[in-house]
A = this chain, B = another copy of it.
């Protein structure tokens, strides 16, 4: 375990501030009816902002230095990450054994006019179920996800999500979850059932060994 020093804390805060700015930009760029010339000016400003960030980048086999894979700190998770431009973000807490998520989806998440893309709902629920599975002490990878759409999910409306483990059988964990409007939590809009499968040690080593060994098992000075 790494000590969380001031420099790391400041970096995590900066990543969150950058994430907030990115999410504002993404939503404004999706919703804007600014004149065409203004869109081109924005594109130029954005390329200028992107360039210095691209000078020093990690590969897919390097975890972000601000993350902590062992402690589960993932600042760029595309559903919950404070630093992710793709995440609404969903904020998750636990009430007993149930994971509760909250978010509001902007126009960037639109599928059918004025409603969320069906794939977005599946993505949010995969994350809710995965969170519940991980925090039940039985972490695993998604093996199957069944998403049932009962009613469309409105944009610009506070949502309440749930995720809960309902069964554990050896390496197989089953979880269920729902999406509802926050002001009507009993009226389910979308629900999902997922089967998660714990990795055997050799599977985990094969899949994640390259990342973990670069980050956590290299000889360190000092």
A residues sitting closer than 8 Å to B (CB atoms) are: 7, 10-11, 14-15, 17-22, 24-26, 28-34, 36, 38-61, 63-65, 69, 76-79, 83-86, 107-115, 117-120, 122-127, 130, 141-149, 152, 154-156, 207-208, 210-212
Contact = CB atoms under 8 A, between A and B. Distances in A.
A177 to B, nearest CB: 11
A147 to B, nearest CB: 5
A212 to B, nearest CB: 7
A34 B56 CA distance: 6
A211 B207 CA distance: 46
Contacts of A61: 114
Given A25-B53, A146-B146, A155 B60 contact: yes
Instruction: Give the oligomeric copy count.
Output: 2
A42 B45 CA distance: 11
Mostly, the A contact residues are helix
Contacts of A207: 112, 114-115, 152
Contact of A52 (B19, B38, B53, B211): B38
B53 A36 contact: no
A77 B112 CA distance: 9
Nearest to A110: B76
Contacts of A30: 76, 83-85
A117 B195 CA distance: 15
Contacts of A211: 113-114
18 contacts: A7-B36, A14-B39, A14-B40, A18-B29, A21-B44, A21-B46, A22-B25, A22-B26, A24-B50, A30-B76, A30-B83, A41-B52, A42-B53, A77-B117, A113-B211, A144-B149, A145-B147, A152-B207
A43 B18 contact: yes
A11 B40 CA distance: 9
A76 to B, nearest CB: 5
Given A22-B25, A50-B21, A63-B113, A56 B32 contact: yes
A35 to B, nearest CB: 8
A117 B74 CA distance: 12
